Amino acid sequence: MGPFFPFSKNLSFKMAGFKTKSTTFVSTKQKYDIMKKFLFLIMVMLMACGAKQTTQQVAHAATTAPVTQMRFHCDSDTILINDLLKKGYDSGLKDANALVEFYAKQLLGTPYVAHTLEADEEILTINVHQLDCLTFIETLYALTRATLNRRYSWRDYAANIENVRYRGGTMRDYSSRIHYISEWIIDNHMRGNLFEVTPDLPHADYMIKDIDYMSKNPDKYRQLKNDTAMVEKIKRYELRRHRFPYLKRSWLNDKEVKAALRSGDFVSLVTRAEGLDVSHNGIIVVDEKGDPYLLDASMSGGKVMLEAKPLFKYLEKSKTNIGIRVFRMMQ
């Protein structure tokens, strides 16, 4: 016998789009059909909830995916990363730019060391004890993204480093690492990590340039000088006749420009050197007077430091750096 439903005379019953009117009773077959529709409706609702949960899990997986190959500078890298993330959590900061500035100041005094990523075989390198200008901004991105996602483990940091450092967010070989800032911002913007502020700055300009220094100077790169196949791979990703925005250094003391810059913005120094788009990276820190300064992993200073002069003064006498590009993290 089918399930029992106590229907009374002239009762209209509506469920899952089914409507029936009964005078004295509902047949077993009708009751069975109603139950099937009812169960079907429940299944649809459960599947919808399951799909939503799966989507949320996939979104979180982007920052917690296991990294199978890692190389650490020393045993205390993971301890330092966890300590930094705890400080970020304790700060209560929720804004991306504020977190970038916060973490940059936590790293003041960290020694400048070049070429920390280079090895015979490409491997995800985790090193917060030694930084150059690019690994510095990668580190700030990874710490900030983990904090924004409410993830406070060195594993989340490592996943974010892989995500921002490699094309498409996945490490494969040396050619999968993003070597030019112009491609770095294109790739990371497409994946929702960062966006470029430069075109929206007052007095922004554009230049067209071939970004191909590596393939034209393979002898200067450990991974390229004896590997013509890798040179060809790198060449495929280089940018030719590339048009990109920049702000000429002569505008850096302009009131409108200074008002548009924010502490915690990533900044790259545009170079006139052939084959290169930028020569140096750091972040902007705006002082109480509204003047932007460069906080960077400085080769000349030998450490992470806040430069002594405002940015326009810092670039004023440079023979090669002709302007800046500015990037911001997506919240």
Helix ranges, 133-175 (H): 133-148, 154-165
> Would strands 124-126 and 70-72 be described as parallel, antiparallel, or unpaired?
parallel
Q: What is the full DSSP assignment across 255-312? A: HHHHHH--TT-EEEEEE-STT-SEEEEEEEEE-TTS-EEEEEEETTTTEEEEEEEEHH
* Residue 26 phi, psi (nearest 5): -115, 135
- Residue 2 pLDDT grade (very low, low, confident, very high; cuts 50, 70, 90): very low
Structure token pair of residue 223: 């991974």
Please report the pLDDT score of residue 29 as a whole number: 54
Structure token pair of residue 69: 């190959």
Q: What is the mean pLDDT of residues 183-212?
A: 98
CB 133 within 8 A of CB 282: yes
Q: Which residues of 291-319 are buried (b: 16+ CB within 10 A; e: fewer)?
A: bbbbbbbbeeeebbbbbeebbbebbeeee
Domain-wise residue ranges, the chain: 11-58, 70-329
Please report the pLDDT score of residue 271 as a whole number: 98
- Residue 64 pLDDT grade (very low, low, confident, very high; cuts 50, 70, 90): very low
Please report the pLDDT score of residue 27 as a whole number: 57
Q: What is the mean pLDDT of residues 66-77?
A: 80
Structure token pair of residue 23: 């005078």
- Residues constituting the chain: 331
**Mean pLDDT, the chain, whole residue set:** 86
- Residue 20 pLDDT grade (very low, low, confident, very high; cuts 50, 70, 90): very low
**pLDDT tens digit string along 81-125?**
999 999 999 999 999 999 999 999 999 999 999 999 998 899 999
Report the alpha-carbon distance of residue 146 to residue 87 in Å, rounded: 12
**pLDDT tens digit string along 138-162?**
999 999 999 999 999 999 999 999 9
Per CATH, the architecture of 70-329 is what?
Orthogonal Bundle (1.10)
- Residue 260 pLDDT grade (very low, low, confident, very high; cuts 50, 70, 90): very high
Question: Which class for 108: exposed (0-12), middle (13-18), buried (19 or more C-beta within 10 A)?
Answer: exposed
pLDDT surpassing 50 at residue 246: yes
CB 162 within 8 A of CB 170: yes
